[in-house]
């Protein structure tokens, strides 16, 4: 997943149904001698709206909690979509614009408090390690770097097959990956993690070797490939938001026909378009263990 030099300004066309990080605040500077508990937080996606519905499918959202021993204050940190998941996964086809228009950014959100009921009721709130104030402050510097350079949300993991040893063509970049990077950063700084099982959700597409198609300019620009441009727009059209149930089912049949019967998927990744020759089982949601770090690895960034 590519790092960028800076985060671009968002376009006013992109509107969030739910305001991003409404109670967010700056990460505080902790006293060096503080002892800070670190908590693994996990709950079903959209739990605030649908309760445990997506929990049954193991579609989970991840965050990390902190508790300062000196002040008794709790904090939550998470990384998620600025304009909701649909906008990060599929583009808008706007009148008068040849290229699909993406409202895709993800970012870190830090705020005071831990909503115990939200995490405990249908999910997880468990102590994973304890760190010093110094380690917390170093982590905060890394979060700033990570947040300014890793800006695009990526829903899909793309693999060659369901085999555990199968090659990964594209890796996702979403809430759980931020938590895994944070845990690794804390391990690099000397944190020792408790031995507990930690599972995460991945949404996987299965494909043969991807074919590189080009970027927005080379496909949709004045010297672009008109046939390919039309095929990409046509592919994304059925994924638009639906006003009626009937409209949804008509488009769902189009999607099944394209992805499963014709084995086609167009992926936009690192600002480039790829063609995925899809293969069975096409798509799978998995909830599998990614162990907590057990020592220092080379850290990315600071």
Catalytic residue among 118, 175, 242, 263: 175
What is the distance between the terminal CA atoms of the chain, rounded to a whole angstrom?
A: 17
Residue 118 is among the residues annotated as catalytic for this protein: no
Tokens representing residue 134 in the block: 């110094």
If you average pLDDT over residues 275-294, what whole number do you get? 93
Boundaries of every domain in the chain: 35-155+173-200
pLDDT for 299 beyond 60: no
Mode of pairing for the β-strands spanning 35-44 and 106-112: unpaired
Per-residue pLDDT tens over the stretch 77-89: 999 999 988 888 9
Percent of the chain scored above 90 by pLDDT?
A: 75
Which position among 1, 61, 88, 263 bears the catalytic label?
A: 61
Rounded Cα distance, 198 and 200, in Å: 7
pLDDT given for residue 59 in this prediction:
82
Could you tell me which of 85, 52, 293 has the C-alpha nearest to residue 174?
85
- Is 61 annotated as catalytic? yes
Question: What rounded mean pLDDT belongs to the chain?
Answer: 91
pTM beyond 0.85: the answer is yes
With bands split at pLDDT 50, 70 and 90, how would you rate the model's confidence at 295? Answer: low
Q: What is the pLDDT of residues 206-262, one digit of tens each?
A: 999 999 999 999 999 999 999 999 999 999 998 887 777 788 788 888 888 888 888
Q: Mean pLDDT throughout 63-91?
A: 94
| 248-282 burial code (b ≥16 CB/10 A, e <16) | eeeeeeeeeebbeeeeebbbbbeeebbbbebeeee
Neighbour-count burial of 25, counting CB atoms closer than 10 A to its CB (0-12 exposed, 13-18 middle, 19+ buried): exposed
Q: Quick check: 301 pLDDT over 60?
A: no
Tabulate helix, strand, coil % of the chain (nearest 5).
30, 30, 40
pLDDT digits (tens, 9 = 90+) for 106-126: 999 999 999 998 898 888 999
Whether the pLDDT of residue 302 is over 60: the answer is: no
Backbone φ, ψ for residue 111 (5° rounding): -150, 155
Does the pLDDT value for residue 161 go beyond 90?
yes
pLDDT on residue 52: 63
């Amino acid at each position: 997943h590519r790092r960028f030099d800076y985060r671009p300004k968002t376009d006013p066309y992109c509107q969030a149904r739910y305001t991003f990080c409404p109670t967010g605040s700056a990460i505080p500077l902790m006293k060096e001698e503080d002892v800070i508990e670190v908590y693994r937080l996990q709950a079903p996606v959209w739990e605030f709206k649908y309760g445990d519905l997506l929990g049954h499918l193991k579609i989970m959202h991840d965050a990390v909690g902190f508790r300062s021993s000196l002040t008794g204050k709790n904090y939550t940190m998470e990384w998620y979509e600025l304009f909701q998941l649909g906008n990060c996964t599929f583009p808008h086809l706007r009148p008068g614009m040849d290229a699909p228009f993406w409202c895709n950014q993800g970012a870190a959100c830090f705020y005071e408090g831990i909503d115990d009921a939200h995490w405990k009721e249908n999910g997880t709130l468990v102590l994973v390690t304890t760190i010093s104030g110094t380690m917390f402050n170093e982590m905060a510097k890394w979060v700033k770097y990570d947040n300014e350079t890793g800006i695009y949300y990526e829903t899909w993991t793309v693999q060659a097959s369901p085999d555990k040893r199968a090659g990964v063509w594209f890796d996702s970049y979403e809430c759980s990956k931020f938590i895994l990077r944070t845990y690794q950063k804390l391990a690099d700084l000397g944190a020792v993690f408790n031995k507990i099982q930690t599972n995460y959700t991945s949404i996987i597409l299965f494909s043969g070797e991807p074919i590189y198609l080009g970027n927005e300019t080379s496909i949709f620009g004045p010297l672009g490939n008109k046939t390919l441009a039309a095929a990409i727009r046509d592919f994304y059209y059925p994924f638009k938001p639906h006003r009626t149930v009937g409209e949804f089912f008509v488009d769902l049949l189009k999607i099944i026909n394209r992805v499963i019967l014709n084995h086609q998927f167009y992926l936009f990744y690192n600002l480039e378009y790829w063609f995925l020759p899809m293969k069975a089982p096409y798509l799978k949601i998995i909830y599998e263990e990614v162990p907590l770090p057990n020592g220092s690895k080379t850290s990315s960034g600071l």
